[in-house]
Amino acid sequence: MAAKLESIDEDALNEHAVDDPEEVARMVEMATRNSTERRQLGYFSCGTGNPIDDCWRCDPNWHKNRKRLADCGIGFGRNAIGGRDGRFYVVTDPNDDDPVNPRPGTLRHAVIQDQPLWIVFKRDMVIKLKQELIMNSFKTIDGRGVNVHIANGGCITIQFVTNVIIHGLHIHDCKPTGNAMVRSSPSHYGWRTMADGDAISIFGSSHIWVDHNSLSNCADGLVDAVMGSTAITISNNYFTHHNEVMLLGHSDSYMRDKQMQVQTWVLSCGQQRLHALGDAIGGSANPTINSQGNRYLAPVNPFAKEVTKRVDTAEGQWKGWNWRSEGDLMLNGAYFTPSGAGASASYARASSLGAKSSSMIGPITSGAGVLGCRRGHQC
């Protein structure tokens, strides 16, 4: 039996699941067509072969039109608008002295606000967080035009919220934090137990887009999406110097993870250390995973070549999960094990978002990670 997918109908998104692979294909085809039509509204095209970047990157006045980015998403997280409908908030202070009472002008003060915000940075900065940064809904963190590092402390937690965009950040050397009070909104703070030290932890959240970030060398995962998180796109990121890059799904016993939908696009995994089998993409509880236009570089270790890992699950169970690879570049013996409707030709045709052949992955992924954007010039 094919794995279950949430209905593309927004009103029924969290209520229905589909068992028929052809119905899965029909729904994804409809979503792809709608997304394509939405994006043909006079947006720029640089002809890079990357439909996300073509939507905004060749505008030399990108810094005056920052919120255009919110309309450029594709995949399952394409409807994440972040702080598009709110005002700009300029981070001027890199300090994080008090996670309970953050000072105005700090990143923590920005992300906990209740209203939508598009968060930018006044200058280059290194932000060492004392505790995990707990996001509120309808926020965009936009690091374009400056060099922003979140490093050597707590990192980003997206928990029980919706509509978050993370773009243009260096996130690395994240440490376990916790057993402390941390504020999550202007009206609430509470006790946080130990966080694992993920670069970006997505927990029980939806409509999330993680784009053009550089992530490396954290205590646990680089991107974890668990506990029923869904409608997520992870695109144009550069993941390096890490063992367990992505964990998708909490456990086989957690039923809400069966409705997880995650899309990866132009995701450069160069230099990633795959010391154990399946350390690139791990998942459980039947999440849906589309890997499109990614580059996977396996290590010399002959026993560490498989990109995929179904966590603590027998083949008889995971063979129905929708995991697929299209246009990925597999280097040094790396391989992706597809399954479910995602392995079928009809699903592959319907769910394609224009992934290029592996011959194109080199030039496309050369722009993965944080971009060197300058005002008055194309990014």
Q: pLDDT tens digits for 280-302?
A: 676 666 767 778 777 787 777 77
* CATH 2.160.20.10 corresponds to the domain 41-365: yes
Note the pLDDT of residue 350.
39
Tell me what the mean pLDDT of segment 101-130 comes to.
98
- Parallel, antiparallel, or unpaired: how do β-strands 17-18 and 5-6 relate? antiparallel
By the 8 A CB rule, do 259 and 229 touch? no
- pLDDT tens for 139-157 read 999 999 999 999 999 999 9
Break the chain into its structural domains and give their ranges.
41-365
Note the pLDDT of residue 323.
85
Amino acid residing at 150: I
d(CA 117, CA 204): 21
Question: Which of the two residues, 39 and 67, has the higher pLDDT score?
Answer: 67
Q: Which two tokens stand for residue 176?
A: 């376990």
- pLDDT tens for 348-368 read 443 444 555 555 656 666 788
Catalytic residues, by residue number, are 273
Q: What is the pTM of this model?
A: 0.74
Instruction: Say yes or no to pLDDT of 234 above 50.
Output: yes
Q: Which residues, other chains included, contact 34 with Cβ-Cβ below 8 Å and sequence gap of 6+?
A: none
Instruction: Say yes or no to pLDDT of 36 above 70.
Output: no
Q: List the 214-216 sheet strands across, edge first.
A: 125-127, 148-151, 170-172, 214-216, 238-240, 268-269, 295-297, 329-331
**Per-residue b/e over 350-362, b at no fewer than 16 CB within 10 Å?**
bbbbebbeeebbe
> What are residue 247's DSSP bridge partners?
224, 282
The percent of residues in the chain predicted with pLDDT above 90, rounded, is 42
Tell me what the mean pLDDT of segment 313-342 comes to.
83
